[in-house]
Structure 1
């Protein structure tokens, strides 16, 4: 897990799941998390999914080139197509440069 730092690229993936093949989806999601973490320029991710099937995953990258290389990775492209065919009703992707990030934790 990671929080973006100034100048990093944040790729924000918001999706709405179908009810199809939950086991296959979970397996593919774990595979993509491990594969992304092994890519040059990977800086972390955060992910949540609600009971209604809406999910948000933010991956952080050191620079645009790293984020684009992840987008274009052959295995990521293959799983993305499976997602379109099986697991997602819809999704959107927003790419942004991190301007500021901070945390707070209750005492």
Structure 2
């Protein structure tokens, strides 16, 4: 069950991949997931992909934590690699979470 994320910052990354270098993409994605989880203010991630389209939501304690992740040198280098190799396009949105709840079937 997901935790209450009220008050957190959500970074929404929506993308379409090129299909080039799937093994390199997978390794980079795993490395970024692990690196993000070590950053101050990191609160979690949700991700889904189908047919080359992907949506990843990362959650941060506050705006400063999200901005620090954006500027992290390894993340910045991987982002540039993604622009050159793995993505046709992407969109990024940042939002404050005002309300959060979840439900799970028993």
TM-score (norm 1): 0.95
| Structure 1: tracts of 5 or more residues without a match | none
CA RMSD of aligned residues (A): 1.4
| Structure 2: tracts of 5 or more residues without a match | none
Residue in 2 that maps onto 1:5:
5
Change over 3 Å in CA distance of 1:4–1:72 after alignment to 2: farther
| SS in structure 1 at match of 2:58 | strand
**1:24-103 equivalence runs, <5 A:** 24-50=24-50, 52-103=51-102
Structure 1 outlier segments of 4+, above 2 Å: 1-4
- CA distance in 2 between counterparts of 1:9 and 1:91 reads 19
TM-score (norm 2): 0.96
Residue in 2 that maps onto 1:19:
19
Once the two structures are superposed, what CA deviation does each residue of 1:43-88 show, in whole Å capped at 9, x if it has no partner? 00000100x1000000000000000000000000000000000000
